[in-house]
Chain A
């Protein structure tokens, strides 16, 4: 299923931590505007795969393309990949936004300061533009009333919505979500999923590691089931969630649905 037109192309991604092989040669294409949900048991490699895409985790072998960029490397002669400097990797990362399970907001900065930090210092936007953009984004995630609050003064759901706004502030081409609702109290999950569904509807390219099958079904264009470092099954939400082919997919779904 090689596809030159896809926005994100993963080719034969392998990764191990010591003896433990986490990714066994993953191939994956994600098109612009597509929402892909990665599901699977913990330890199946979904988070590692996601973290490879923006080079937070460096694969042992394989290639990841985001748009025209080969993440982390420069191919000066065919077949020889030279490691890029941190600065160049950072430049590539501006295309990829990320939302973490534990929000990872900067606790010493206010909501607004959290959002404008990267646009000001990385994109070198002037302050008024950065603040105006940040306020638009805060409105989009329904957090306008909290722009001067500190992260610790917010609920988990509110923090995660701010984290989404922070990721969007860099105007990325793709947003990665690493179990964005797993650390939330059950009654707060909905508000975060609503924001994500809104983003998906607006055409953002998204890769979402999640245990929320309802979200996968509603907002996902495709669902990939991962097991033991491989994508066992991939297709539309209906195919994978309602008519899974593989025995292990069925076993997993029977536990979470």
Chain B
């Protein structure tokens, strides 16, 4: 028998064996190796064909269309979504309810249906005019000349997306403590300035992660516009393999481009999140740089 030791700092800690972790690692490694071997050795992927189509002008055109659709769609959706969010929070029952009705309709119906409806708008409304109801017409045009596949695609995607973003933006604004508005009011900061300088920067912290998710979602489901014959990335690929029957290699090309864009978007999101997180995390490096920047600009 030994007596209790007086000094304990020389003890060696023997780690508990993590057996299941090793089982997990082994399983993942085996799976990864077999997938990789398949990619390399299986001739059916036709990597040479993939290489041939990766920078094919038709694919790149499709990619451009997809990027433009996503960008324009997202910008319009953010603007409309912000408007809807503000309406939804209005004390006026009418404004709040109409924003609610918009969100109810556009979230409640499939975007595919909305696209087809927009594209066929001329069936319901043959002529589009701006004027005073029951009064003179100021401007009018044939609906078919206004609704091209492009306008139908942009309308369909952005108006649908706006309904989702409205709720995301609203939740972000609501998450900012009421005391912030009161402090801004007490300092006589006007309503617009207070929203732009005080509320929005804090709300964006909450808005950006789900909104970036939506942007990535929009990037991919913009492929549904193929139903109205707009050749974006996926449809451009489909046009190629419907003639050459090189289905798998072309789809691989399409996936590679989607992954590239999503990777870039994710990187941008992280940058944005880090910038918006200033003051909320304990890190002090960025903080000092910002303040120096403010002072340097005097």
Chain A interface residues toward B at CB < 8 A: 54, 56, 86-87, 90-91, 93-94, 96-98, 100, 102, 104-110, 112-113, 117-118, 121-122, 126-128, 131, 147-153, 166-167, 170
Annotate B127-138 by CB proximity to A: 1 below 8 A, 0 otherwise: 000000000000
Option from A113, A150, A170 in Cβ contact (under 8 Å) with B188: A170
A56:B287 contact, CB within 8 angstroms: no
The 5 sampled A-B contact pairs (Cβ below 8 Å) are: A56-B182, A87-B190, A104-B180, A108-B280, A113-B294
A100:B183 contact, CB within 8 angstroms: yes
B201:A90 contact, CB within 8 angstroms: no
Minimum Cβ distance to chain B for residue A137 (Å): 14
Residue of A with least CB distance to B190:
A90
B188:A108 contact, CB within 8 angstroms: no
Complex interface residues of chain B between 268 and 298 (CB less than 8 A to chain A)? 276, 278-280, 282, 284, 287-288, 290-292, 294-295, 297-298
Query: Do A170 and B187 form a contact, CB below 8 Å, given A104-B182, A127-B297?
Result: yes
Residue of B with least CB distance to A176:
B186
Tell me the complex Cα distance, A100–B185, Å: 12
**Is B202 among interface residues, defined by CB-CB distance under 8 A?**
yes
Tell me the complex Cα distance, A166–B188, Å: 12
**Is B198 among interface residues, defined by CB-CB distance under 8 A?**
yes
Residue of B with least CB distance to A113:
B294
Residues in A neighbouring B294, C-beta threshold 8 A:
110, 112-113
B291:A108 contact, CB within 8 angstroms: no
Residue of A with least CB distance to B196:
A121
Query: Do A108 and B279 form a contact, CB below 8 Å, given A91-B188, A93-B185, A122-B190?
Result: yes
A131:B295 contact, CB within 8 angstroms: yes
Chain B interface residues toward A at CB < 8 A: 177, 179-180, 182-183, 185-191, 193, 197-198, 201-202, 276, 278-280, 282, 284, 287-288, 290-292, 294-295, 297-298
Tell me the complex Cα distance, A105–B280, Å: 12
Residues in B neighbouring A118, C-beta threshold 8 A:
187-189
Option from A86, A102, A122 in Cβ contact (under 8 Å) with B187: A122
Residues in A neighbouring B292, C-beta threshold 8 A:
148
B278:A108 contact, CB within 8 angstroms: yes
Query: Do A100 and B179 form a contact, CB below 8 Å, given A90-B190, A110-B287, A170-B187?
Result: yes
> B interface, by DSSP: helix, strand, loop or mixed?
helix
A108:B186 contact, CB within 8 angstroms: no
Residues in A neighbouring B185, C-beta threshold 8 A:
56, 90, 93
Query: Do A122 and B188 form a contact, CB below 8 Å, given A102-B179, A127-B298?
Result: yes
B188:A93 contact, CB within 8 angstroms: yes
B183:A151 contact, CB within 8 angstroms: no
Residues in B neighbouring A128, C-beta threshold 8 A:
298
Residue of A with least CB distance to B290:
A110
Residue of A with least CB distance to B178:
A104
Minimum Cβ distance to chain B for residue A79 (Å): 28
Minimum Cβ distance to chain A for residue B230 (Å): 41
Tell me the complex Cα distance, A66–B197, Å: 28
B287:A150 contact, CB within 8 angstroms: yes
Given A94-B188, A170-B188, 15 further pairs, Cβ under 8 A:
A54-B186, A100-B182, A100-B183, A100-B186, A107-B280, A108-B201, A110-B291, A121-B190, A121-B193, A122-B188, A122-B189, A127-B297, A149-B284, A149-B287, A152-B282
Minimum Cβ distance to chain A for residue B284 (Å): 7
Query: Do A117 and B291 form a contact, CB below 8 Å, given A100-B182, A127-B297, A153-B284?
Result: no
Tell me the complex Cα distance, A110–B288, Å: 9
Tell me the complex Cα distance, A122–B191, Å: 11
Tell me the complex Cα distance, A150–B295, Å: 15
Question: Which of A102, A105, A113, A148 has most B Cβ within 10 Å?
Answer: A148
Residues in A neighbouring B278, C-beta threshold 8 A:
108, 150
Residues in A neighbouring B193, C-beta threshold 8 A:
121
Residues in A neighbouring B279, C-beta threshold 8 A:
107-110, 150-152
Residues in A neighbouring B276, C-beta threshold 8 A:
108
Residue of B with least CB distance to A99:
B186
Residues in B neighbouring A150, C-beta threshold 8 A:
278-279, 284, 287
Tell me the complex Cα distance, A253–B201, Å: 45
Option from B186, B201, B202, B282 in Cβ contact (under 8 Å) with A153: B282
B202:A108 contact, CB within 8 angstroms: yes
Residues in B neighbouring A97, C-beta threshold 8 A:
186
Residues in B neighbouring A94, C-beta threshold 8 A:
188
Tell me the complex Cα distance, A104–B190, Å: 17
